[in-house]
Structure 1
Amino acid sequence: MGTIIVFIVFFIGLFTIVKGGDLFVDSAIWIAKKTGVSSMIIGATIVSIATTLPEFFVSTVASNEGHPDMALGNAIGSTICNTAFVIGLCSCIKPIKIKKGFFNVKGFMMISYLIIFYIFARDGIVIFKEGVVLLLLLLFFIITNILEFKVGDENTEKVKKEPINSKKDIILNIIKFILGAWFIVIGAHMLVDSGIKIAKIFEIPQQVVSLTLLAVGTSLPELVTSVIAIIKNEENISVGNIIGANILNLTIVLGSSALVSDNGLFISDQTLYLDIPIALLVMTIFVFSGGIKKEIDRKSGLLLLTIYIIYLIILF
């Protein structure tokens, strides 16, 4: 009976965090539309920040509560899930056309950030100072997006700036913003607590639980947002969302987790020799396919999905 309750709490937490992310995304997109920015920038900043909140709160809560392996597994696992599963699935549904010149820059940045994290992790721990560096890397990404918006070349499309209808509209979206963030925080605590109990019940390492259940659970906002964007022919939002979410996982999520942990983030051999190499492999396929072919076709999507399935089999 206790096991059933643990799973019920896990799925309630998952529903709460997804619903919170949904409300947050709605309010974030509303803000973006009222300011008028390109769809790629919306995806890489506003939407990716909103959809990465679950990973951020789950990892920082886990790290603060003395479970750095879960914090690390959730962030790296979500990065792998975003690239291999979400992009793989979306490109199988419909080939993703790459329209932006900045894709190569941001794709290279994403891979570089993973390599930098690997360099920090080689000695088995990511300390406070290295966490600060990861957070500073986020500033460079933000500056890149600002520059992209200011360049305003023929490749930079802007969405039409919409007028603010009423004060009621403003209040409603502020409520959505606050309520969404609160749901995400509550759901994060429920996911971490129940995830730890699930690991104990089935005698599975916490890192495996965080790389699978937690990672897939907290990546649901990216999955839903990206699939809807693909269906609506907004490929730039989908691609920008994933690249932005991955960069945020590698910078603010892992950086903050290192800062709030008393002894830093301890890195296991599995992370160094399996998780990070898999993340690098799927990122490379994603970026090179988009950069060279100018699209993520179904063959690349199937390859990414196959790698993800093999990775899950290895974990278990």
Structure 2
Amino acid sequence: MEIGLVIIFFIVGLIMTVKGGDIFVDAAIWIAEKTGISSGIIAATIVSMATTLPEFFVSTVASREGFSEMAVGNAIGSYICNIAFIIGICSLIRPINIKDKFFGIKGVMMIGYLCVFFLFSKDGFINFNEGYIMVLLIIFFIFINILEHRKNSPCRSKNKRKTINKKELVKNGIKFMVGIVLIVYGAHILVDSGVEIANILRIPKQVVSLTLLAVGTSIPEFITSLMATFKRQQSISLGNILGANILNISVIIGVSSLVSDKGLIVTGHTLFTDIPMAMLVALLFVGVGLLREKIGRITGLILLGTYVVYLFMLF
């Protein structure tokens, strides 16, 4: 297949995946608002879950088809991209003030889950039992968000419940399902075309997953965080990135290891390059956020510069 046609397929898959995520986010937010869930919980859980659906399906499809390096590369690449690129860009546009008292807990959790992944993958393999443990780690994250919601707005959910119109219910139900279908099929096209691009250009599949796939599937997080920054809703931006990264490591890596016939293979490149880079940007992001209670433009520039250096390292 010619490279031009493969790239067209890749773009089509990317559009389907991103648009599916966008439609799904709209439906998920509508459901959340109608049930009275606070915006903080929406950002950290429902929105982050929705925006990581592209990564989830791309990684699980890749893993099931036997491309472990693409599954891991997409998850870790998105983790790095979410912090270094997305937070970097957003903080350059407008410094991000951190008012969330639970930022430290979620930030430490994000770093801690990365450490768990590293410990499990030191032997170059994530087996089924380790995959189950990683998936179960999400329970603690959900518990923390429920605790935060109850502490900050104990009566808010009751006061914000709205009457559900049947027409709106059908409309958003359809959007919910269409979004999932677009994401699933878009993910298949992305993986297949990504593998083909790697073969044609003789580029390692892991490099393709760490760049094209990771950046492509992170677009929902980027758009969500960018719009939140423009609207001065910085807690949504932070919650989305923290939640997405925690999901990348726990659910996406965990499920990817479970759907594979032989577990998940972790390469030396991931162990000695990708994970250290993910740890570096995560420590910078969380450390500066806790010490200064904001992510300023200088920090954003450092994060963005680190990401550029990382991309050069890959090639």
Contact residue 33 and residue 159 of structure 1 kept, 8 A? no
Match of 1:25 in 2: 25
Computed over aligned residues only, the root mean square deviation of the Cα atoms, in angstroms, reads 1.6
Contact residue 35 and residue 157 of structure 2 kept, 8 A? no
Match of 2:306 in 1: 307
Give the CA deviation at 1:268.
1.0
Alpha-carbon separation, structure 2, partners of 1:242 and 1:280: 15
Alpha-carbon separation, structure 2, partners of 1:35 and 1:236: 21
1:2 aligns with 2:7: no
Alpha-carbon separation, structure 2, partners of 1:7 and 1:127: 34
Residues 160 and 18 (structure 1 numbering): CA distance in 2 closer, same or farther, change over 3 Å? farther
Give the CA deviation at 1:17.
0.5
User: What is the 5 A alignment of 1:65-214?
Assistant: 65-152=65-152, 161=160, 163-164=162-163, 166-214=165-213
Contact residue 288 and residue 295 of structure 2 kept, 8 A? yes
Contact residue 131 and residue 255 of structure 1 kept, 8 A? yes
Alpha-carbon separation, structure 1, partners of 2:265 and 2:27: 36
Residues 265 and 202 (structure 1 numbering): CA distance in 2 closer, same or farther, change over 3 Å? same
TM-score normalised to structure 2 length: 0.97
Letter of the 2:90 partner, please give it.
Answer: C
SS of the aligned residue for 1:104 comes to: helix
Alpha-carbon separation, structure 1, partners of 2:159 and 2:249: 32
Contact residue 49 and residue 243 of structure 2 kept, 8 A? yes
Match of 2:261 in 1: 262
Give the CA deviation at 1:164.
3.1
SS of the aligned residue for 2:72 comes to: helix
Contact residue 77 and residue 210 of structure 1 kept, 8 A? yes
Residues 162 and 231 (structure 1 numbering): CA distance in 2 closer, same or farther, change over 3 Å? farther
Letter of the 1:276 partner, please give it.
Answer: I
Which segment drifts farther, 272-281 or 36-45?
36-45
Number of equivalenced pairs: 315
Identical aligned pairs, as a percentage? 56
SS of the aligned residue for 2:220 comes to: helix
Gaps of 5+ in 2: none
Alpha-carbon separation, structure 1, partners of 2:46 and 2:140: 16
Give the CA deviation at 1:40.
2.5
Give the CA deviation at 1:290.
1.3
Give the CA deviation at 1:160.
6.8
Contact residue 107 and residue 243 of structure 1 kept, 8 A? yes
Contact residue 110 and residue 243 of structure 1 kept, 8 A? yes
User: What is the 5 A alignment of 1:214-225?
Assistant: 214-225=213-224
SS of the aligned residue for 1:169 comes to: helix
Alpha-carbon separation, structure 1, partners of 2:157 and 2:212: 37
Alpha-carbon separation, structure 2, partners of 1:126 and 1:214: 21
After the TM superposition, which segments of 4 or more aligned residues of structure 1 sit over 4 Å from their partners? 156-160
Contact residue 96 and residue 296 of structure 2 kept, 8 A? yes
TM-score normalised to structure 1 length: 0.97
Residues 143 and 271 (structure 1 numbering): CA distance in 2 closer, same or farther, change over 3 Å? same
Contact residue 39 and residue 159 of structure 1 kept, 8 A? no
Letter of the 1:60 partner, please give it.
Answer: T
Gaps of 5+ in 1: none
Give the CA deviation at 1:99.
1.0
